[in-house]
Amino acid sequence: SSSSSKSSSRVNAFGKSFPRSRQAQNHHQRQRRQRQTLQTPCASSKKRPKKQRENIYTMPDIGTTPYQMKDDLPAKGPEFDLSQKKQPQPYFGANDENKEATTEIDMSPAMFDKLITIFRSKDEDEWIGLLASSEKWYDLCDGLFARIEERVEKVDEDPAVKNRDEEELLLARLLRKLKETHARCTSYRDLLQELLEKDDDVLEGFVPSRRGEFTAEFFSYVTHKIERAHEMKDVELTANLARIASRVLGIVEQFDEASRDQQLLDTAAENFQELLKVETIQDMDAKIDELASTGKLDPALMLTAAKAYMSVKESPYVEEEVKDVMVHLYSKMRDTVGRQQPKEVRILKLVLSVDDPIEQRNMLEQAFTPGPELENVDGNEDMLWCAPESMLQTIDVILKTREQSVVKTSLGGDAARMMTPEIIERMQGLKNLIEDQ
């Protein structure tokens, strides 16, 4: 056919065609395919390398966020400028490294101005109560003083002030008086803490030795502290403060009563020196009993002995044997004075020391049962009884004393130990129980 002859022949320069051999045809077809490949390459003829999918769970750990890696470093996430974050308002003393920072206390000038207004609206006699009742006063005082000084310096710049000279004088006086009150409250706080840390048997010597510090303002300060502790429902602190206040008040009144008669103090000092001259413990006990029987074991002698006992007990230079003798002397004197108290007071103290109401009822029944009165039963017990009417009368006296905030020296000072709110509540309960029976 013409098609087969065309594909298998070639034309020479003279127009004549000559047949191709099979080998020549194959070679010619290969050359033609190569030319077509070079001129129009096919995109599908070249295979692309297969890209492997990255597994983020097998990648190196760069944190909680699987950022893509670049130059072996994790890409940076979003940046936050923390300096632009709204910071709390700085307060007075915030830069003090030695003072624990707390943002709970408002130290702004506006708050100090409110405090200034409060103090200016109160009488100076009321400032003690404000300072004693405040739990944060010692955190605020320096800032308040600084704010008052600042207002004094800038009084000319305050458009709200009409009479600048008068305002400057008033602020300066307020600052001076507040600093004085602050200093007194600080001394009261330290004295009260010292009292709480003292042993009860040392108080009778400690209080007279520092009598000048126990002023009416000190007891007012303690009263405000008791009220504040009661408001905070701190039962233990309330009881401790009430106990120490009543105890100190009783010692102060005993000391003042004895101090009115210098001759009485001189006699007490002589009797105490005679006690120290005895050679044995048995002679000392006999001498104390003799003084008690003659009425010479009075508050003046007890105060003299208490001072000596405190100085010996707290001194590191006194020999232990001397301390032991003084402990025995003072303990024997206190025990003897306790036996001189009215028996109703002694019974009442014993009943109030019991918490169980049923046991209290049983003890009262035994105390109201008439019988022989014996002392030193088994070496340390007394057998006493009293009439219910006399017990009610004693309770009424103590409750009335509580209302008047006065401790009767006729009760030997021990009534002061029963003046805590819890004891008063128990005493009222005993009164109701006796009246019902």
Distance between CA 324 and CA 329 in Å, rounded?
A: 9
Cα dihedral 418/424/425/429 (nearest 10):
90
Provide DSSP, 13-62.
TTS-EEEPPHHHHHHHHHHHHHHHHHHS--GGGSPPPPPPPP-TTTS---
**Confidence (pTM):** 0.60
Tens of pLDDT, residue by residue, the chain (437 residues): 444 444 444 544 444 444 556 666 676 677 777 666 555 544 444 455 554 554 444 444 444 434 343 344 444 433 333 344 343 333 333 344 444 444 477 888 999 999 999 999 999 999 999 999 998 999 999 999 999 999 998 888 777 778 888 888 999 999 999 999 999 999 999 999 999 998 888 888 899 999 999 999 999 999 999 989 988 888 888 888 888 888 898 888 888 888 888 888 899 999 999 998 888 999 999 999 899 888 888 888 988 888 888 888 888 878 888 888 888 898 888 888 877 788 888 888 888 888 888 888 888 888 888 887 766 555 556 778 888 898 898 888 888 776 664 444 433 344 444 456 677 788 888 888 888 87
Closest by CA position to 405, among listed 173, 223, 213: 223
Distance between CA 385 and CA 365 in Å, rounded?
A: 10
Closest by CA position to 211, among listed 191, 233, 229, 225: 191
Strand pairing category for 73-74 and 69-70: antiparallel
Residue with tokens 């905070």: 232
Distance between CA 37 and CA 41 in Å, rounded?
A: 5
Asked if residue 147 lies in contact with residue 109, where contact means CB atoms within 8 angstroms, the answer is yes
Phi, psi of 226, deg, nearest 5: -65, -45
Residue with tokens 């020479």: 12
Phi, psi of 135, deg, nearest 5: -80, -15
